[in-house]
Structure 1
Amino acid sequence: MKNFIKITLLLLLLPLVFNSCIKENDFVVNEESASLEDIINVKLIDVLEGKKITVTTNYLKEKWEKEIYIEDDVKVTLDRFEILQSETEEGVKTYFLKAKSTDGTINTGSFILLNKDANGDNIFLLGSKTCSCKGCSGGCELIIDGTRCRCSSCPPGEDCVKTETVIIEDE
């Protein structure tokens, strides 16, 4: 009888455990991956010419590599993605999609807004603020604090340059 009660209790609790984990697995914070699709199970949305489109890690990788080449005349390969989470002074959670170069000298990314689609599923909308840290591989790590970006310091004698871009659209 004891075993029957234990098994019945286990069968009743097991679905609750799995259901409570499903939404948690929609995205993973602070885990690096070669593909964003490996760490999130949500849609990533970008706005192009006023239209929202679903994008992939490969799309962002190519877009950001091209922007770095145009701005800095540097060919770079971005190969690791990570979602950073922070909190504003008011307690609002903020998220940042960060990509890191193969050699570790460039960190770049965009703030992302967590929303829900019509089905109630999580979606990330790329924000209008981007940040980059470019310099040494033993530092110059992009860090977010609320809605601010900063770069960690490099060893003595090495430089780290922070760039922030905000897109302001005309109404």
Structure 2
Amino acid sequence: MAHIELGVDENRFPGINGPMAYRPETGKPLSELAEVLLRGPHTLSAGERELIAAYVSGLNECTFCATSHSAFAAAQLDEGRSLVDQVRANPDTAPVSDKLRALLAIAGAVQQDGRKVTTALVDAARETGATDLEIHDTVLIAAAFCMYNRYVDGLGTLAPDNPNVYAQAAQRIIEQGYLAR
């Protein structure tokens, strides 16, 4: 049960959905940010960007966000759930491109403390072909998900145990995006 009365059925509005419904005037810009970062036109695929969100959410131990964005990434990556699980376990040994591995290292640094993003990490990403836009958006995805994770966990929202809830949400996000809440 959430720490405050959200005025919604938590089973219908689990995780971040409840607080966004409770306060739509703040939920809308948060949804718009997620839409741009995770689904907008980009050189990184939507699955790769969702994977960054899932990775950071896992590092933050946010059950709802890690589980939902893992499902969203898996549904959009050819390698599916196996790749997501490997990245979340250890991105250094996961079968991803050198560029994505370097971007995940940057995301992991942001999750710890933004000041841990070093010139060496950025240079390493550039050496693998990462563009300034990809580096920028990786930092912003990681920073945003630290905020989203703390929002969800700080209000004590429900994280369903049923994997079907997350699979259904993944299909809804793929088909309708983050603005159709």
More helix by share: 2
**Higher radius of gyration, 1 or 2:** 1
Structure number with the higher strand fraction is 1
Q: TM-score, normalised by structure 1?
A: 0.29
Q: Normalised by the size of structure 2, how large is the TM-score?
A: 0.27
